[in-house]
Amino acid sequence: MRRIRILVAYDGTDYCGWQIQPNGITIEEVLNDKLSKLTGEDIHVIGASRTDSGVHALGNVAVFDTESPIPPDRMAYALNQKLSEDIVVVRSEEVPLDWHPRYQKQVTKTYEYHIYNAAFPNPLKRRYSAFVSFPMDIEKMRKGAFFLVGEHDFVSFCNVRTNVEDTVRRIDGIEIDKKGEDITIRVTGNGFLYNMVRIIAGTLIRVGRGFYTPEKVKEILDAKERTKAGVTAPPEGLVLVEIKYGCQGLEGRE
């Protein structure tokens, strides 16, 4: 028996998220099915991040156990032959049997939230960006984001349906860049609560549009009340870019 770690990229538009659920097809379900057919075994992958419906990834990480004779580094090539074009295994490798993608001492995740900021929508951007038609002040968004960096209780930026008891997380950095009509909010931290990045994005959008002052972000953080923050931004703008374990990077892109 061997444990294989895979790096997975996907367009989440047509999927109900990562985790198997009864109301639609998911990334986990597809991987289980294709791997089981490939190996002739009953395969169940374990993912590092259970992304929501419609959310994309360049570098999600998962593991599965197999007795297949396929070499670990060739598993990605074999599996991609069975997957549709919107799911790609970028890399495959063997890891110790006790290695778990969600229970490591040092984990850093990076997400990007993409916004298309123009007078009219761009149909080529609709699957991968949230559309905002009103002007946005990037400098104010950056000032507001500053208050979120560090270790805080992020319960104000968490979906009320979350079932975790500890809502303290650490954000190492938030970068906000604008190129033409495209705005990217890049958030890196040690872990994220349910809908946390999308709520941060929704709140910073309100700062950018002038509904909130940058200082309002600190008030929301200190309030520890979900209703004080902005709306949850749409899922299509969110991408899980990479997950790093210690000093080892498992990037989905160079």
Tokens matching residue 55: 């959310």
Torsion of CA 44, 50, 53, 55, to 10 degrees: -120
Tokens matching residue 39: 């190996």
Burial of 232 (0-12, 13-18, 19+ CB in 10 A): buried
- Count the helix, strand and coil residues of the chain and give each as a percent rounded to the nearest 5: 25, 30, 45
CB neighbours (10 Å) of residue 123? Answer: 7
Q: What is the DSSP letter of 230?
A: -
Name the residue with tokens 């659920």: 21
Residues 217, 245, 237: CA angle, nearest 5 degrees = 45
- Among residues 52, 65, 98, 166, the one annotated as catalytic is 52
Q: Would residue 172 show up in a list of annotated catalytic residues for this protein?
A: no
Which residues are tagged catalytic? Answer: 52
